[in-house]
A and B are shown apart, each in its own frame.
Chain A
Amino acid sequence: EAGVTQFPSHSVIEKGQTVTLRCDPISGHDNLYWYRRVMGKEIKFLLHFVKESKQDESGMPNNRFLAERTGGTYSTLKVQPAELEDSGVYFCASSQNRPGGNTEAFFGQGTRLTVV
């Protein structure tokens, strides 16, 4: 079974440009999460989808970030316009929705974004 897949693995863009990151969760996983790790710091939660609905977006840094999950399958995270401080590794994770018990979140390999 395929794991969580993220595209691209690495992106270098200029300040002011737009970048779109994509995440394909494990098939059948209703929960999808985005995280970000800025160099040397914590991996911080950005937002959480349940199917196509945003369950929690309390971690989104500002309105330059837009996440979508149309149809409840793959998700995109767009940064527009990108700033230098947006550089970091963006992780996506997915998990099953199973009432009554904790479910493990499986992570992708991350997209390394460099804004120059």
Chain B
Amino acid sequence: GDSVTQMEGPVTLSEEAFLTINCTYTATGYPSLFWYVQYPGEGLQLLLKATKADDKGSNKGFEATYRKETTSFHLEKGSVQVSDSAVYFCALSDRILGGGSYIPTFGRGTSLIVHP
């Protein structure tokens, strides 16, 4: 079945450091790929997505490129801020249901802690 593997956390960085959170996936077909973020005390939010190979999703300075050849979707940010501290979830979806809705399959999540 489909699965997502993320690097284990927590990832601890100083402000303005470069961030990479690795994500690889296993899926049949051609899934869409996502990064979700959960800030403390809040719900899951969609951070960015890519729907086909070589697409790059980007939002709030974060980027991830859909790499079909390596089945990866690594999350990167050039300069992290304290406010980026959160749990980040990589996810995929190839279960398109009637009505156009999808059901994501999530990874375990990676906690990011950014110190001033």
Interface size on A, residues (CB 8 A): 36
Cβ contacts under 8 Å, B105 to chain A: 42, 45
Among A41, A48, A101, A104, which residue has its beta carbon within 8 angstroms of that of B103?
A48
For the complex, what is the distance from the CA of A105 to the CA of B96, rounded to whole Å? Answer: 12
Cβ contacts under 8 Å, B4 to chain A: 42
Among B41, B51, B98, B104, which residue has its beta carbon within 8 angstroms of that of A105?
B104
Cβ contacts under 8 Å, B98 to chain A: 99
Check if B46 sits within 8 Å of A104, measured CB to CB: yes
Tell which of A33, A56, A105, A110 has the most Cβ of chain B within 10 Å.
A105
Indicate if B25 sits at the interface (CB-CB under 8 A).
no
Indicate if B70 sits at the interface (CB-CB under 8 A).
no
A-contact 0/1 string along B77-116, CB 8 Å cutoff: 0000000000001000100111111111111110000000
Indicate if B43 sits at the interface (CB-CB under 8 A).
yes
B-contact 0/1 string along A100-112, CB 8 Å cutoff: 1111111111100
Interface size on B, residues (CB 8 A): 26
For the complex, what is the distance from the CA of A93 to the CA of B36, rounded to whole Å? Answer: 13
Indicate if A97 sits at the interface (CB-CB under 8 A).
yes
Check if A107 sits within 8 Å of B43, measured CB to CB: yes
B-contact 0/1 string along A43-60, CB 8 Å cutoff: 111001010000110000
- Name the residue of chain A whose CB is nearest to the CB of B43: A109
Which 9 A-B pairs have CB atoms at the shortest separation, nearest pair first? Answer: A107-B44, A43-B106, A97-B99, A109-B43, A107-B43, A31-B101, A101-B100, A98-B100, A108-B43
CB within 8 Å of A: which residues of B? 4, 32, 36, 41-46, 51, 89, 93, 96-109
CB within 8 Å of B: which residues of A? 3-4, 6, 30-31, 33, 35, 37, 40-45, 48, 50, 55-56, 91, 93, 95-110
